[in-house]
């Protein structure tokens, strides 16, 4: 599953035609880089390549030493030796996962560029005055790929669950980030009901949907992905929302407990809106935001506008006070 779909699936570009321009960002811990460039014969549209080293699958480790080549000793101390090595091309595990974003927009380039991050404490007022106008300004094409999946035009063969009820239905599909090893399990649930953009929109009327998602996830996902040699149990699943989400159509992340990162747990969300129908409408929500994100600039503008308004009000009060004294 991917946020970016090519306009025509017959036009998927050839990786050998990619012309590197610059490194956008790197994550050393995750062994991941984002590269900016273009494809031959298209000087107008930028492209982004995401390259990520893959995890080893257990089935292929028995004779891995026979695939190692070009070893270089980095250091040795007592019983410890550090080396680098290449893995032979005949090794069954792919060594890279690659995602192509093409044509990439300026928003994509900003999103995947190196950037400082800040903590945002988003109040309900900020959500109403800053975030909602931002969401409403986004073109429908940004979530066209979601509609393609929900309507069965793409990835139909990848679905592990498909409930077509317009109110409480949803699909569950493997996430594009998942490399298919159980310890990195990452699937995503996308609800069918349109108009629920994030947890901010959730109310008690959505509890049947949320409870169905939870019960389905903890029963179905272990059944689908456990094998005779490797098992995953319900208590090893993280089921949660991101806020801010990467796209504004309600979706839930379902991952192995070993996968880094978490957000608002679905179980907590269910309990919170059971207690208070408008819990997430009234709550100040804290999250990280990159300074390249448009929302950051909108929050900064709102701050400046507020300061300007206070300044104007103070000047007006001072003028009125002076006028009263003169009278």
Q: Which residues belong to the active site?
A: 251
Instruction: Establish whether 25 is an annotated binding residue.
Output: no
Instruction: Establish whether 140 is an annotated binding residue.
Output: no
Instruction: Establish whether 108 is an annotated binding residue.
Output: no
Q: Are strands 18-27 and 32-39 parallel, antiparallel or unpaired?
A: antiparallel
Instruction: Establish whether 201 is an annotated binding residue.
Output: no
Q: How far is CA 299 from CA 209, 211, 285, 293, in A?
A: 32, 34, 14, 10
Instruction: Establish whether 85 is an annotated binding residue.
Output: no
Instruction: Establish whether 247 is an annotated binding residue.
Output: yes
Instruction: Establish whether 277 is an annotated binding residue.
Output: no
Alpha-helix residue ranges (DSSP H) falling in the chain: 106-112, 124-126, 132-137, 144-150, 207-225, 266-275, 279-282, 294-326
Task: Specify whether the CB–CB gap between 306 and 125 falls below 8 A.
Answer: no
**Cα(162)–Cα(191) distance, integer angstroms:** 10
DSSP line for 142-185: GGHHHHHHHTTSSSGGG-SEE---TTT-EEEEE-TT--S-GGG-
Instruction: Establish whether 248 is an annotated binding residue.
Output: yes
Cβ atoms within 10 Å, residue 159? 15
Instruction: Establish whether 175 is an annotated binding residue.
Output: yes
Instruction: Establish whether 17 is an annotated binding residue.
Output: no
Instruction: Establish whether 288 is an annotated binding residue.
Output: no
Instruction: Establish whether 99 is an annotated binding residue.
Output: no
SS3 assignment for 32-66: EEEEEEEECCEEEEEEEEEEEECCCCHHHCCCHHH
Phi, psi dihedrals of residue 174, rounded to the nearest 5°: -60, 140
List residues forming the annotated binding site for substrate.
145, 155, 175, 177, 242-253
List residues forming the annotated binding site.
145, 155, 175, 177, 242-253
């Amino acid at each position: 599953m991917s946020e970016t779909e090519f306009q025509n699936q017959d036009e998927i570009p050839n990786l050998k035609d990619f012309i590197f321009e610059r490194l956008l960002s790197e994550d050393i811990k995750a062994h991941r880089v984002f590269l900016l460039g273009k494809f031959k014969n298209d000087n107008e549209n930028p492209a982004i390549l995401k390259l990520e080293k893959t995890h080893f699958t257990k089935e292929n480790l028995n004779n891995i030493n026979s695939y190692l080549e070009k070893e270089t000793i980095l250091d040795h101390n007592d019983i410890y030796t550090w080396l680098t090595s290449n893995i032979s091309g005949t090794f069954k595990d792919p060594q890279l996962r690659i995602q192509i974003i093409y044509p990439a927009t300026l928003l994509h380039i900003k999103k995947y560029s190196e950037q400082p991050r800040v903590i945002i404490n988003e109040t309900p007022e900020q959500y109403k005055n800053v975030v909602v106008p931002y969401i409403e300004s986004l073109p429908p094409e940004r979530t066209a790929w979601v509609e393609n999946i929900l309507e069965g035009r793409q990835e139909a063969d990848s679905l592990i669950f498909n409930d077509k009820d317009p109110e409480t239905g949803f699909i569950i599909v493997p996430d594009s980030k998942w490399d298919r090893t159980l310890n990195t399990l990452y699937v995503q649930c996308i609800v069918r009901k349109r108009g629920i953009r994030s947890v901010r929109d959730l109310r008690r009327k959505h509890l049947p949907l949320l409870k169905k998602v939870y019960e389905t996830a903890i029963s179905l996902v272990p059944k689908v992905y456990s094998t005779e040699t490797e098992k995953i149990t319900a208590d090893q699943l993280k089921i949660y929302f991101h806020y801010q989400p990467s796209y504004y159509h309600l979706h839930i992340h379902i991952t192995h407990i070993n996968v880094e990162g978490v957000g608002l747990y679905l179980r907590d969300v269910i309990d919170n809106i059971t207690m208070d129908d408008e819990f997430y409408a009234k709550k100040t929500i804290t999250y990280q935001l990159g300074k390249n994100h448009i929302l950051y600039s909108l929050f900064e503008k709102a701050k400046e506008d507020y300061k300007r308004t206070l300044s104007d009000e103070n000047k007006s009060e001072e003028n009125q006070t002076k006028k009263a004294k003169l009278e």
